[in-house]
Amino acid sequence: MAHLLRGKQAGVQKDLSSGLTAELFAIDDLARYGVNSQLATLAYDPVQSLLAVGTSDSQFGAGLIYVYGQKRVCMTLSTPRRASIRQLQFSADKLISCDSKNDVCVFSLETGRLVASYAPPGQVTAVLTDPSLDYCFIGMQNGDIVTYDLDRETLTSFRISNLLRQVNPRSKLVPVVSMQLHPRDIGTLLIGYTEGAALFSFKQNKATKFFQYEIPPGAPGGDPDVASTHEVRRPRLSHAVWHPTGTFILTAHDDSSLVFWDPRDGRIVEARTIQTTNIHVPGGGATTMDSSPGIKSMKQPYFDIAWCSKENPDDTGLLIAGGTPTSGPTPGLTFFDLGPTPNYQTSSWDVLANYFRVPRRTHILPTPPNAETVKILLIPRSTPHYAGSNDPIAVITLLSSGELITLSFPSGHAITPTNQLHVSLTFVHPFVTRIALACVDRTRWLGTRESRQHGPNFLLGGAEETKPLKRHENRNIVQAAHADGTVRVWDAAHGDEIENSAVLQIDLARAVGRFEDIDVTQMSMSGATGELSIGLQSGEVAIFRLNKNPQSGREPPPPKPNAPPGRLTNIVDRADPALEEGLLPLALLNEQQGPVTALKHSDVGFVAVGFQGSIAVIDLRGPAIIHTQLLSDLAPKNKKASIRRSNSHVSGGKEVPTAVEFGVMTLDGDDYSSILLFVGTSLGHLATFKILPASNGTYSVAFAGVASLGDPVISISPINADSGFPAYATQSAVGSLKTGNRINGVLVVTTTTGVQVFKPASARGAHKSFDNFLCDSAGMTSFRDRGVALVGLFGDGHARAYSIPALKEIGSAKMSHLLDVKRFREAIITPTGDVLGWTGPSELALLNVWGTGQSLPRSQDRLYNPSAAIPPRPTISNLQWISGTQYITPSDMDILIGGPDRAPSKRMLAEMREAESAARAAARSGRPPPPGPNGEQEGYWAYMQRQVQERTDRLGLMDDHMTRLEETSTGWANDVGKFVQKQKRQMVLGAIGSKLGF
């Protein structure tokens, strides 16, 4: 009886929710976008072309590891215990992590699962892996280093005790702060302790050199303190890195000192800061960079340092995060372009020192103010060796706020993450401040792409899983506004296949004409035309349309002043010059009526904008403003008091629009249907306007009436009273008005305290109050052909569905464990029952209320490409070998660390089996055997044997050359001796003959 009574009140003659039951109302967890917590670390693998990021443990979730590849490839990994991820390193087909609980975890890139975990007895301070080794070196707080066998998944017996105790036996707690293998000699390990650095030889199993930085009395040091300049100082070491060819060693210290060492004899070549050189010499300290004279300011510590190189590893540079004065004018990364390394054998000591004193160029890579750079990640072009810093094309910086900044290297130009990084990483590049969602026709979205000038892509790895495609549903297109004034548009899907994974980018700041105070408050996109409107806190509304940019590649002229209120500004010439085709600026509205509080871009060419106290309607056929209206003028004078009394419980304040919607239906009392505009306000008023064609081909807007609902309006849904289908202002619905088609429609309007179903423009109809909770978000949904229902998110953490028109509760489900209840107001409910809401500051969840209760499915994306071969590790030169350097191969390391009885690793056996299988297949088909690692027609072991034989042959050839040189020199000396003796004999005989008169 309730549905009959309320249906009669609302003008709905049938139960539109008859096929929906409580069993159908169950939450399906479909997908996640973004990262669950603040970013803590990141790593890159140039061979597999994958990027991994780790998050911190927080109230929003445990620390997780996200591995990203091309397009939408993503794999989420979790550690055995809840903790923050502190370090990540790729090693061949594995990913190694170390967390705040000191667990070292090994994940397989091939399976995407945890394969081993080790919890050492103590605190882990450093982790080191190498793609050519099957071992992980774990540095401990007590200064010891233990070795974990990644292939056998067990701890080895090889251990390096605290080496600094050999220098200072009284040292008790000297933790390991960094470790790095020699770039060309894998048998030498550089270990950084807090009190100094040491070189460890695996061949000799002992320390070969120690590097302890000591500032003598009278030397300024890195951060000079007048009171301590007369004392010996030993600043704490924070970083120790190799020169890309191993020619020098750099140690960084807490007093801002950068100390360059000669690893052969352990002497200091040069000590400097970013601004000053010769700081280790009494009376030294020459300033080399601009600084404010007479002003002493604190310096930042060194957060991260990378000694990088071009394709030629001898042409190097230093990229430094930190070490600059806190009062510096330009925050950013410091890059010292050192240039080609001097020849060590032929260069004087001054030449070597000047190489570090006077860089070829010093450049600042700018970063945002008020945020420190805590980690830098270089993106090498091809090789993972040289500590991942050879020939980098870009650098990703992690800020203390948890945001990412991508810069070109070494120029430092900002790189947009659009279609370069995974869409989830754009949530922190920079932070997303607001989202909106539009249901766009699938065919329309398939043809929506942008063409933009950009550098080479560096995330090309992985392969997406194949998912079912919901072909007959519109696409969930998200518009995400970022803190830097960038808006990105992308497909969030329905948990199904994403046919068009491209991301569209909008440069809102350029379109508005300024680069500050770009705070987006509202966004609305047309699902039929692809046009987009964006409203700002400052009151402007920018409209964008898909088009080609005629000014592509040319910087546009300075923007002209914006038009005054009442007129639109043509902003077509404010397009991004790097954009060839995409969403381009069209028009700008600046009514100067306060922030934009409501916005709707219809499918039929109209845009409705709600300001603080007024509304405006734009017809894009001009484009032109066709109507403006103050909210205070909506109600007649004689009815204003009664309306106010009905809202006596509503908090005072200026009335602002809170919801705007277009529809096509017949108003109460009319005998024809028309385009209608509905405006809901913060004081519970719902105003209705007619949009009617004029005789001159334009449109006019007429006020039709106002209804008082008592509380702030949060949702307006026009529906067909006969079928329950949406009665929005679609192109087909407006087109049918020419034939006299009449749509019997009603409005389903949701406020914070209740819902009302009525025929506009009056407020007579069915009503239901939410007695024990407030509604934060609501929308009309349908489930297949079973009917429609109103779905809302409520302050008690539940989602509820109500029938139409009876407004009876169909079902209820808990949502507080999936979404952040405090941000329910920002959640979006789509007509298909999808819910897009925030789980934390930087993560969205895509849910569906008409599901089966399934949890978030595990990603089936493939990360590992077995055909991507790791390039051979760089080795020492023949001259170094001849001079006495002992060359250690990765196979030797297996013996030195794992013992002589250690069998070949699983990776080696797999490579051998693959090579033998390929050789047998080639022999059966009569083809030559496949090439080896360097392109030769040979197998894996043959390749290794040939490398050793070639080195032996080259050494023997050098010996032959030296022997022949010695024989030639000896013969030449004998010939010279004979010639001298002959000349002497002839001179003596000539003298005797002259005496005798011959």
pLDDT tens-digit profile of 260-284? 999 999 999 999 999 899 998 887 7
Backbone φ and ψ of 375, nearest 5° = -155, 140
Mean pLDDT throughout 93-110? 95
| 42 close to 396: Cβ distance less than 8 angstroms | yes
- Residue (of 772, 855, 782, 859) closest to 818 by Cα position: 855
Is omega for the bond preceding 329 within 30 degrees of 0, making it cis?
Answer: no
- Highest average pLDDT, of 250-264, 555-569, 922-936, comes from 250-264
Q: What six digits make up the tokens of 361?
A: 């160029």
pLDDT band for position 100 (50/70/90)?
Answer: very high
List pLDDT tens digits, range 682-734. Answer: 999 999 999 998 877 889 999 999 999 989 999 999 999 999 999 999 999 99
Residue 822 in this model has a pLDDT that exceeds 90: yes
Residue 654 pLDDT > 80: yes
pLDDT band at 433 (very low <50, low <70, confident <90, very high): very high
pLDDT > 90? residue 644:
no
pLDDT in tens, 746-786: 999 999 999 999 999 876 788 999 988 999 999 999 998 89
- CA–CA distance, 128 with 106 (Å, rounded to integer): 13
CA–CA gap between residue 578 and residue 507 (Å, rounded): 11
Helix axis angle for 906-925 and 940-996, nearest 10°, is 90
CA angle 280, 282, 288 (to 5 degrees): 60
Asked whether residue 303 carries a pLDDT value surpassing 60, the answer given is yes
Say whether 569 sits in a helix, a strand or coil. strand
> Between 743 and 891, where is the model more confident?
743
Is the link from the previous residue into 623 a cis peptide, with omega within 30 of 0? Answer: yes
pLDDT in tens, 661-688: 999 999 988 889 999 999 999 999 999 9
Determine whether 35 is exposed, middle or buried from the number of CB atoms within 10 Å of its CB (0-12, 13-18, 19+).
buried
Q: Please tell me the distance from the alpha carbon of residue 850 to that of residue 412, in angstroms, as a whole number.
A: 49
Give residue 111's Cα distance to chain centre: 23
| Cα(503)–Cα(524) distance, integer angstroms | 17
CB contact at 8 A, 614 and 629: yes
Distances (CA, A) of 569 to 90, 215, 523, 533, 565: 52, 65, 19, 14, 10
- State the Rg of the chain over Cα: 37
Give the whole-angstrom CA distance, residue 329 versus residue 325: 9
Residue 739, burial from CB neighbour count under 10 angstroms (0-12, 13-18, 19+): exposed
Contacts of 224 (CB under 8 A, 6+ apart): 285
CA dist 89 and 76 (Å) reads: 16
- pLDDT at residue 882 in the model: 64
For residue range 185-230, what is the model confidence (pLDDT) as tens digits? 999 999 999 999 999 999 899 999 999 999 998 888 887 666 677 8
Distance (Å) of CA 350 to CA 115, 222, 272: 52, 21, 15
Residue-averaged pLDDT of the chain: 87
CA–CA separation, 62 and 64 (whole Å):
6
Query: Which pair of tokens denotes residue 898?
Result: 């794992």
Q: pLDDT category, 638, cuts 50, 70, 90?
A: very low
Tell me how far CA of residue 233 lies from CA of 169, 212, 253, 855, in angstroms. Answer: 19, 11, 12, 59
Vertex 258 angle, CA 255 and 262, to 5°: 135
pLDDT exceeds cutoff 70 at 970 = no
CA atoms within 13 A on the CB side of 175: 14
Residue entry with tokens 């995060």: 321
DSSP state of 247: S
Q: In what order do the strands lie in the sheet with 699-708?
A: 657-666, 673-681, 685-693, 699-708
How do residues 380-432 score in pLDDT, each as one tens digit? Answer: 999 999 999 999 999 999 999 999 999 999 999 999 999 899 999 999 999 99
d(Cα 803, Cα 17) in Å, to the nearest integer?
5
pLDDT of residue 979: 64
Task: Identify the residue whose tokens are 């009392």.
Answer: 669
∠ Cα 358 363 368 (to 5°): 145
CA dist., res. 107 & res. 486, Å (int): 35
Q: Per-residue DSSP letters for 87-125?
A: EEEEETTEEEEEETT--EEEEETTTTEEEEEE--SS-EE
- How far, in Å, CA of 342 to CA of 260, rounded? 14
β-sheet bridge partners, residue 55: 39
Residues in the chain, total: 998
Q: Predicted confidence band at 12 (pLDDT cuts at 50, 70, 90)?
A: confident
Burial class (CB in 10 A: 0-12, 13-18, 19+), 831: middle
What's this model's pTM, rounded to 2 decimal places?
A: 0.88
Cβ-based neighbour number of residue 466 at 10 Å: 8
Burial (CB < 10 A; 0-12, 13-18, 19+), residue 923, is exposed
